[in-house]
Amino acid sequence: MLINKPADLRPSEITDRRYFERRRELLKGGAAAAVGLAAPGLLALSPAAAAKIKFEQLKRSELSADEELTPYESVTSYNNFYEFSTDKKEPAELARNFKSRPWTITVEGEIGQPKTFDVDELIKLFPPEERIYRLRCVEAWSMVIPWVGFPLGNLIRSLAPTSRAKFVEFETLHDPERMPGQRPSLFGGSLEWPYREGLRIDEAMHPLTILAVGLYGEELPGQNGAPIRLVVPWKYGFKSIKSIVRIRLVEQQPVNTWQAQAPGEYGFFANVNPDVAHPRWSQARERRVGDFFKRPTLPFNGYADQVADLYRGMDPRKLY
């Protein structure tokens, strides 16, 4: 997570109205290419290689934020995805042709019924809805994104976790052929692969925690974590691990990638906290991508009413 200011991103006046226009445009394309309904809410899987999966008639979750959306172009062109590049602009280009089908996700560990799912089978089992969530990054920029996803808790519950399941560990695909940032370089690799993340079981089961399979009504672009990623809206963006292939329920608290890389800077909990400065910068204010002025950072990224209880009695300085 190198520091890179979003000042070079153009301010935008895109509003909800343009979002709906974009959706209409997407849906027109989808309807023309439709080959049949694969799942409720999943409009079409086009035969054309380049065409995208569109999600139709999505119910909007009541947990959604009521804020102006960050334009699709910004959400998909300013990304942290070290498997492709440490630069924020390059993943959009380098992940353009990322092949995210076929794709399987294995759920294993402290679970009664370990299982490997094809991602589209998973979408059929757990029909996604639209959830407008803020994403806040450690470097102090934020976005508001209409994700398409379903609660992770529904998946975990369906597989009967054992009483020893205290934490959940996630792993991204490790495939240097498809992810150029994972190839060894003269300067050494940027991170240790695969990228890993973890949640406490109550965080994983919280209704705000979702597995996202799309944004703006269509499948996730490669740079945003196709075909499936985590979104935990009250935590810093690095918890929202992309392109997941494995979910493991475990008894011991796992170590996540950034914690292993720089334990003095990144912890396990990574809750957005304006009162605790990152060792190299303040976290009291943030810049919404597209805005000129910064705004105050909200505790738990604005989700305190829903999640603060999960951390009662814990030292907030340890929750970074």
Residue ranges binding ligand MTE (CB under 6 A): 1, 79-83, 135, 137, 172, 195, 224-225, 237-238, 240-243
Residue nearest to ligand MTE (CB): 237
- At closest approach, how far in Å is the CB of 134 from ligand MTE? 11
Min dist. Cβ of residue 83 to ligand MTE (A): 5
Helix (H, G, I), strand (E, B) or coil at 123: helix
Chain position carrying tokens 């399941």: 165
Distance CA(76)–CA(69), nearest Å, equals 13
User: 241 vs 194, 258, 261, CA distance in Å?
Assistant: 11, 11, 15
What's the min distance (Å) between Cβ of 74 and ligand MTE?
Answer: 9
Give the C-alpha separation, 281 to 311, whole Å: 24
CB of 98 to ligand MTE, least distance (A): 12
Beta carbons of 214 and 146 less than 8 angstroms apart: no
Instruction: CB nearer to ligand MTE: give 123 or 231.
Output: 231
C-beta closer to ligand MTE: residue 12 or 158: 12
Distance CA 144, CA 239 (A): 16
Is the CB of 193 or the CB of 311 nearer to ligand MTE? 193
Q: Which is nearer to ligand MTE, 242 or 248 (CB)?
A: 242
Q: Which is nearer to ligand MTE, 161 or 257 (CB)?
A: 257
Q: In whole angstroms, how close is the CB of 290 to ligand MTE at the nearest point?
A: 14
The strand pair at 141-151 and 285-288 is best described as: parallel
Q: Which is nearer to ligand MTE, 72 or 82 (CB)?
A: 82
Count Cβ atoms below 10 Å from residue 224 Cβ, excluding itself.
25
Which residues neighbour 80 within 8 Å (Cβ) at sequence distance 6 or greater? 1, 88, 91, 137, 237, 238
Distance, first Cα to last Cα, the chain? 15
Structure tokens at 184: 């060894």
* Cβ at position 94, least distance to ligand MTE in Å: 12
Minimum Å distance from CB 239 to ligand MTE?
A: 7
**Partners of 236 in the β-ladder:** 136
Of 242 and 246, which has the nearer Cβ to ligand MTE? 242
The tokens for 86 are 């440490």
Neighbours of 60 (CB within 10 A): 11
